[in-house]
Chains A and B, each alone.
Chain A
Amino acid sequence: MTSRDVITLSVLLGVAVFLDVALIWGPTLASVLLSFTSWDGLSPIKPIGTRNYHAIFETYPLFWPAARHNLLWLAFLGLVATPLGLLLAVLLDKQIRFTRFYQSALFLPVVLSLAIVGFISQLVFSRDYGALNSVLGRGAHPVDWLGDPHLNIWVMMVAASWRHVGYVMILYLAGLKAVDQSLKESAAIDGANEVQTFFRVTFPTLRPVNIIVLVITVIEALRAFDIVYVVNSGRNGLELLSVLVFDNIVGEASRIGFGSALAVILFVICLGFIVVYLSRILRQEDQ
Chain B
Amino acid sequence: MAQYPAGQSPAPSTVGHPSRRAVLRGSTLAAGAVTLPGLLAACGGGAGGDAGDKTVSFGSNHSDPVDKAAMEASLKAYEAKSGKTVKINTVSHNDFQTNISRYLQGNPDDVFSWFAGNRMQFFAKKGLAADISDIWQGFDGFTPALKAASTGEDNKQYFVPFYYYPWAVFYRKSVWQQRGYQAPKTWDEYRALAARMKSDGLIPISLGDKDGWPAMGTFDYIDMRLNGYDFHISLMAGKEDWTGPKVKGVFDTWKSILAYTQEAPNGRTWQEAANTLVNKQAGMHTLGMFVGQQFKPEELDDLDYFPYPVIDPANGQDAVEAPIDGFMVSKKAKNLAGAKDLMKFLAGPQAEDAFLKVFPSNVACHAKADTASYNALQKKAVELVSGAKHISQFMDRDTRPDFAQTVMIPAIQQFLGNPNDVDNILRSIEAQKKTIFAAE
A residues within 8 Å of B by Cβ?
Answer: 1, 6, 9-10, 13-14, 17-18, 20-22, 24-30, 38, 40-43, 51, 55, 58-62, 126-129, 144-149, 152, 219, 222-223, 232-233, 235-237, 239, 247-248, 250-255, 267, 270-271, 273-275, 278, 282
A236 near B266 with CB under 8 A, answer yes
From known contacts A253-B406, A270-B3, infer whether A26 and B32 are also in contact, taking CB-CB under 8 Å. Answer: yes
Point out the residue from A149, A237, A251 that lies within 8 Å of B98, measured CB to CB. A251
B47 CB–A CB distance under 8 Å: no
In whole angstroms, what is the CA distance A250 to B283 when docked? Answer: 38
B residues within 8 Å of A by Cβ?
Answer: 1-3, 5-7, 11, 14, 17, 19-20, 23-24, 27-28, 31-32, 35-36, 38-40, 97-98, 100-102, 105, 119, 126, 128, 210-212, 263-268, 272, 401-402, 405-406, 409-411, 413-414, 417, 428, 431-432, 434-436, 439
Q: How many Å from the CB of A246 to the closest CB on chain B?
A: 10
B267 near A61 with CB under 8 A, answer no
B212 near A59 with CB under 8 A, answer no
A235 near B212 with CB under 8 A, answer yes
A236 near B417 with CB under 8 A, answer yes
Q: How many Å from the CB of B405 to the closest CB on chain A?
A: 5
A22 near B405 with CB under 8 A, answer no
From known contacts A59-B432, A253-B406, A270-B1, infer whether A127 and B268 are also in contact, taking CB-CB under 8 Å. Answer: yes
Point out the residue from B40, B211, B266 that lies within 8 Å of A149, measured CB to CB. B266
In whole angstroms, what is the CA distance A55 to B433 when docked? Answer: 11
Residues from chain A with a CB closer than 8 A to the CB of B102 are 41
Q: Give the residue name and chain of the A residue nearest to B25 (CB).
A: A17
CB pairs A–B below 8 angstroms (15 shown): A1-B20, A9-B20, A13-B24, A18-B31, A21-B35, A22-B38, A25-B2, A25-B5, A42-B128, A61-B428, A61-B432, A147-B266, A147-B268, A223-B1, A252-B98
Q: How many Å from the CB of B149 to the closest CB on chain A?
A: 18
Residues from chain B with a CB closer than 8 A to the CB of A255 are 402, 406, 436, 439
B402 near A253 with CB under 8 A, answer yes
From known contacts A14-B27, A24-B2, infer whether A43 and B431 are also in contact, taking CB-CB under 8 Å. Answer: no
In whole angstroms, what is the CA distance A271 to B1 when docked? Answer: 10
In whole angstroms, what is the CA distance A129 to B432 when docked? Answer: 36
B413 near A247 with CB under 8 A, answer no
B267 near A148 with CB under 8 A, answer yes
Residues from chain B with a CB closer than 8 A to the CB of A267 are 2
A59 near B428 with CB under 8 A, answer yes
Residues from chain A with a CB closer than 8 A to the CB of B7 are 274, 278
Q: Is the interface of B mostly helix, strand, loop or mixed?
A: helix
Residues from chain A with a CB closer than 8 A to the CB of B406 are 62, 247-248, 253, 255
A252 near B401 with CB under 8 A, answer yes
Residues from chain A with a CB closer than 8 A to the CB of B409 are 235
Interface centre among B20, B27, B28, B39 (most CB of A within 10 A): B27
A21 near B28 with CB under 8 A, answer yes
In whole angstroms, what is the CA distance A237 to B417 when docked? Answer: 10
Residues from chain B with a CB closer than 8 A to the CB of A127 are 264, 267-268
Residues from chain B with a CB closer than 8 A to the CB of A233 are 211-212
A6 near B23 with CB under 8 A, answer yes
From known contacts A17-B31, A252-B100, A254-B101, infer whether A26 and B6 are also in contact, taking CB-CB under 8 Å. Answer: no
Residues from chain A with a CB closer than 8 A to the CB of B105 are 41-42
B6 near A41 with CB under 8 A, answer no
Q: Give the residue name and chain of the A residue nearest to B429 (CB).
A: A61
Q: Give the residue name and chain of the B residue nearest to A277 (CB).
A: B7
Residues from chain B with a CB closer than 8 A to the CB of A145 are 267
Interface centre among A13, A14, A25, A127 (most CB of B within 10 A): A25
A61 near B27 with CB under 8 A, answer no
Q: How many Å from the CB of B35 to the closest CB on chain A?
A: 4
Residues from chain A with a CB closer than 8 A to the CB of B3 are 219, 270-271, 273-274
Q: How many Å from the CB of B4 to the closest CB on chain A?
A: 8
In whole angstroms, what is the CA distance A146 to B264 when docked? Answer: 10
Residues from chain B with a CB closer than 8 A to the CB of A59 are 428, 431-432, 434-435
Point out the residue from A22, A147, A250 that lies within 8 Å of B39, measured CB to CB. A22
B101 near A252 with CB under 8 A, answer yes
Point out the residue from A42, A147, A252 that lies within 8 Å of B126, measured CB to CB. A42
A20 near B100 with CB under 8 A, answer no
B31 near A247 with CB under 8 A, answer no
Residues from chain B with a CB closer than 8 A to the CB of A13 are 23-24, 27
From known contacts A13-B24, A42-B126, A236-B413, infer whether A22 and B35 are also in contact, taking CB-CB under 8 Å. Answer: yes
A43 near B126 with CB under 8 A, answer yes
Residues from chain B with a CB closer than 8 A to the CB of A148 are 264, 267, 417
Residues from chain A with a CB closer than 8 A to the CB of B32 are 21, 25-26, 29
In whole angstroms, what is the CA distance A233 to B410 when docked? Answer: 11
In whole angstroms, what is the CA distance A127 to B272 when docked? Answer: 11
B428 near A42 with CB under 8 A, answer no
In whole angstroms, what is the CA distance A13 to B21 when docked? Answer: 11
Residues from chain B with a CB closer than 8 A to the CB of A30 are 36, 39-40
Q: How many Å from the CB of B272 to the closest CB on chain A?
A: 6
8 further A-B pairs in the complex, CB-CB below 8 A; given A61-B410, A270-B2, A278-B7: A21-B31, A61-B414, A147-B265, A247-B405, A248-B406, A251-B401, A254-B101, A274-B3
Residues from chain A with a CB closer than 8 A to the CB of B39 are 22, 26-27, 30
In whole angstroms, what is the CA distance A17 to B272 when docked? Answer: 52
Q: How many Å from the CB of A85 to the closest CB on chain B?
A: 22
In whole angstroms, what is the CA distance A55 to B428 when docked? Answer: 11
Q: Give the residue name and chain of the B residue nearest to A146 (CB).
A: B267
